[in-house]
A and B are shown apart, each in its own frame.
Chain A
Amino acid sequence: EAGVAQSPRYKIIEKRQSVAFWCNPISGHATLYWYQQILGQGPKLLIQFQNNGVVDDSQLPKDRFSAERLKGVDSTLKIQPAKLEDSAVYLCASSSGRAERVYEQYFGPGTRLTVT
């Protein structure tokens, strides 16, 4: 079974530029999460999708961050415009969405973003 795929693995941009990250979850997983992991901290949930609907985006800075999961499969997270404090690793995770299994998250390798 293929794992969660993310691209790119690394990205360096200047502040005020825009950037997009892509995630393809494990096949059949209905729930998809985007996390931001700042150096020295644990992952912080940005947005959670159930199929192509948003379950929780309360921690997403909506003035600059946006995310979509149009067909209920892969997802894109965008930052526009980027700030220095957005430098972090962006993790995508998925879970099966069935009963207790919804709590077992499988993570991709992450995208390390550096904003200069």
Chain B
Amino acid sequence: AQSVTQLDSQVPVFEEAPVELRCNYSSSVSVYLFWYVQYPNQGLQLLLKYLSGSTLVESINGFEAEFNKSQTSFHLRKPSVHISDTAEYFCAVSDLGNAGKSTFGDGTTLTVKP
């Protein structure tokens, strides 16, 4: 069975500071990995994904995540955050061949302060 652990439930940072949201997973097979973002009173939106190829993946708004198979991690980073990045972030894992089923972590609340 697969599982996801998001190591920090809340991360407060100041605007323009760098941030890292940590995600570790466990699975006995090869996986796909995802980060979703949830703004207040909205549904989850896919932020970025690792399916295959380069282990470093990027989003259009400056976030990046690196798949580290040996450490079973998929940490999310941004070098300089904005107030508008304040949201809840969820890491998710899918076992290959599992018909699209994903297991989600419990989320990390990122609060960007001015």
Contacts and interface: CB of A to CB of B under 8 A. Distances in A.
Interface string A50-62: 1000011000000
Interface stretch (B45-53, B55-63, B67-75): B45-53
A21 interface: no
A12 B34 CA distance: 33
B99 A48 contact: yes
Interface string A19-61: 0000000000001010000001111110010100001100000
The size bracket of the interface on A is 20 to 34
B45 A40 contact: no
Interface string B67-94: 0000000000000000000000010101
Contacts of A44: 104
Contacts of A41: 106-107
Contacts of A48: 99-101
Contact of B106 (A4, A31, A42): A42
B44 interface: yes
Nearest to B92: A42
Contacts of B44: 43, 91, 93, 105, 107
A12 B35 CA distance: 31
B102 A45 contact: yes
Nearest to B109: A40
A111 to B, nearest CB: 11
A50 B99 contact: yes
A18 B104 CA distance: 28
Contact of A42 (B46, B99, B101, B107): B107
20 contacts: A33-B100, A40-B107, A42-B90, A42-B92, A42-B107, A55-B99, A55-B101, A56-B99, A91-B43, A93-B44, A95-B100, A100-B51, A102-B99, A103-B34, A103-B51, A103-B102, A105-B100, A105-B102, A106-B46, A109-B43
